[in-house]
Amino acid sequence: MSGIFHEAGFWVAVSFVLFFVLVGKKLWTPIAAVLDSRAELIRRELDEAARLRREAEQMLEDATREREQALAEARSMVEQSRKQAEDMAAKARAEAEAAVQRHEQMARDRISAVERAALKEVRQLAIDAAVDAAHAIIPQTLDDKAASALVDQALAGLPAAMARQAA
């Protein structure tokens, strides 16, 4: 009479099932809570990243629009300077040459300043976009160990980077 009730494996299986029936709910509730809180944190971070991306895109559009306006304004200034130079040339040749030189130099300086400002702003927006893209791509391509190593490396290089930026 060697029935299934005399098998040690049967009683191990029964005790395993009973253990999980009795203790499983107590273990599953905290595990599920931890997983739910982690999912909510990730969801909030994704929402924040999307919001930041929309803001960066809007800033890029604004910067592009401002740059176009600045270039149109610079062209208008150059045209006005030329008209003034022609009017002055008709009045007096010597006075006109001096005025043309002053106005052209001022226009070039303004154009140069506007171009530098626009270029700086576009570069900053490109940096922001690259950082946002990196924030989106890095978590998908790095495991926790590699990410931790990169963070440690970045923290180690932080004083040098701050010193370069301050200079």
pLDDT score for 1: 46
pLDDT score for 96: 62
118-148 confidence digits (pLDDT tens): 989 988 988 888 888 888 887 777 777 877 8
The answer to whether residues 84 and 103 touch, using CB atoms and an 8 Å cutoff, is yes
State yes or no: pLDDT of 113 exceeds 80. Answer: yes
Q: Which residue, among 79, 134, 69, has the nearest Cα to 104 in the 3D structure?
A: 79
Domain borders along the chain are 11-136
Average pLDDT taken over every residue of the chain = 85
CA–CA gap between residue 77 and residue 108 (Å, rounded):
10
pLDDT score for 126: 85
5-20 confidence digits (pLDDT tens): 778 888 899 998 888 8
**pTM of the entire structure?**
0.33
State yes or no: pLDDT of 86 exceeds 80. Answer: no
91-107 confidence digits (pLDDT tens): 767 776 777 789 889 99
Average pLDDT rounded to a whole number, residues 41-54: 95
- The DSSP code sequence of the chain is ---GGG-HHHHHHHHHHHHHHHHHHHHHHHHHHHHHHHHHHHHHHHHHHHHHHHHHHHHHHHHHHHHHHHHHHHHHHHHHHHHHHHHHHHH-HHHHHHHHHHHHHHHHHHHHHHHHHHHHHHHHHHHHHHHHHHHHHHHHH--HHHHHHHHHHHHHHHHHHHHHHH-
